[in-house]
Amino acid sequence: MAVYLITGAAGFIGANYVHRLLEREPDAQVVAVDYLRGAANLSNLDPVIDRISFHAEDISDFDAISALYKKYRPEYVVNFAAESHNDRAIVSPSEFMRSNALGAQVMLEASRQFPVQAHLHVSTIEVYGELATGAPFFTERSPLNAKTPYSAAKAAGDQIVRAYMSTYPEMNIRMTHCANNFGPYQSPEKLIPMSITRLLRGRKVPVYGDGLQRRDWLHVDDHCSAVHTVLHSQLGPIPAEAATDPGLLPIFDISARNEVTNLEIVGRIITHLGIDPAEAIEHVPDRPNHDRRYIIEPTKLETELGWRPRRDLAGSFADTVDWYVENRGWWESTLADKGELGFNWGARQEPSPTPA
């Protein structure tokens, strides 16, 4: 019986991974860790709560994390934990650096002091920054060029992961970057569930700027299958040439090659719900420093590890809209608990206090 330690387990992607993991390995022992901040929601784990060991801990607290390693002796560690919303990061950047950079280092150090079979750090496409005009996509060889407090904190975590990979090759560390995810259990602060839940309440969808920002969309089930593939693949030693070529590090970009504008995403939701577009969209001031376009290329993952996405965009998108229609109680409870998750960038945003 394999023992998995999954951080960020009550978040959108982490919870979906826990669900899929237990479907794939019913006898696995799952230690689920989440500090229950931001978009985390313990109810995301309700369908499996009796089959896991849940701990509300901060991944940047080394003593707390070490205690979990000592108690459970995990074989596999997947670090999904992150503060992950660009809007909130602009208002309160300090907490993002704590979780996304320091937290990444604490998890790595725990896996170094209490060795595991494999440690996977889950990162994001946004560490690469904005794609240059005319460039087709980013790859694992692209430089990190984060533009926002959120993505800069994640890029800092990436640099720490890369340093541990090269300094401690015996640790068997892997890292992934994912495209924009969508699917069930995603917080209503994110574009797709925010649009659906507003429309279902008879409200308009606020679209930043002209809405022509282009994104790479990936269903969460495909992301979870890719993470599991990377975690369990037999990888060779890191070659010396990786010192100057990050493409040779055990880093894999995950994408289904679905490039769509934000405006088109909202339009698909409106069409699926049978709502008049003229009554459904409201263009609002764009957020500061908003990336115009970013796309990643999954060729390395496909050719070296044999992974392929299974979900087509149209069908999985319709399934996602239907999930929110059918699970109104889940998102209404989330909104009641966390309040309306939106920002008016036409007004002055008050900074949050810096954590001690």
- For residue 117, give both structure tokens: 């079979």
Average pLDDT of adjacent 10-residue blocks, the chain of 356 residues: 96 98 98 91 96 97 98 98 70 76 96 98 94 92 91 94 97 96 94 96 92 93 98 96 96 96 95 91 84 90 98 94 97 85 58 42
Long-range (24+ apart) CB contacts under 8 A made by 266-274 are: 266/191, 266/195, 266/205, 266/207, 266/211, 268/317, 269/192, 269/195, 269/196, 269/199, 269/205, 269/321, 270/199, 270/205, 272/317, 272/318, 272/321, 273/196, 273/199, 273/200, 273/321, 273/325
Which amino acid is present at 247? Answer: G
Could you tell me the CA-to-CA distances from 254 to 95, 217, 242 in Å, in that order? Answer: 26, 10, 20
Query: Considering the domain boundaries, does residue 228 fall inside one?
Result: yes
Query: Considering the domain boundaries, does residue 321 fall inside one?
Result: no
CB neighbours of residue 183 within 10 Å = 23
Q: Dump pLDDT digits (tens) for 164-184.
A: 999 999 999 999 999 999 999
Query: Considering the domain boundaries, does residue 322 fall inside one?
Result: no
Query: Considering the domain boundaries, does residue 202 fall inside one?
Result: no
Residue ranges making up the domain that contains 59: 3-187+217-259+293-312
Query: Considering the domain boundaries, does residue 333 fall inside one?
Result: no
Q: Would you call 186 helix, strand, or coil by DSSP? A: coil
Query: Considering the domain boundaries, does residue 211 fall inside one?
Result: no
Query: Considering the domain boundaries, does residue 274 fall inside one?
Result: no
Query: Considering the domain boundaries, does residue 18 fall inside one?
Result: yes
Query: What CATH number is associated with residue 175?
Result: 3.40.50.720
Q: What total number of domains does the chain contain?
A: 1
Q: Which are the contacts of 115, defined by CB distance < 8 A and separation ≥ 6?
A: 171
**0.85 exceeded by pTM:** yes
pLDDT given at position 353? 43
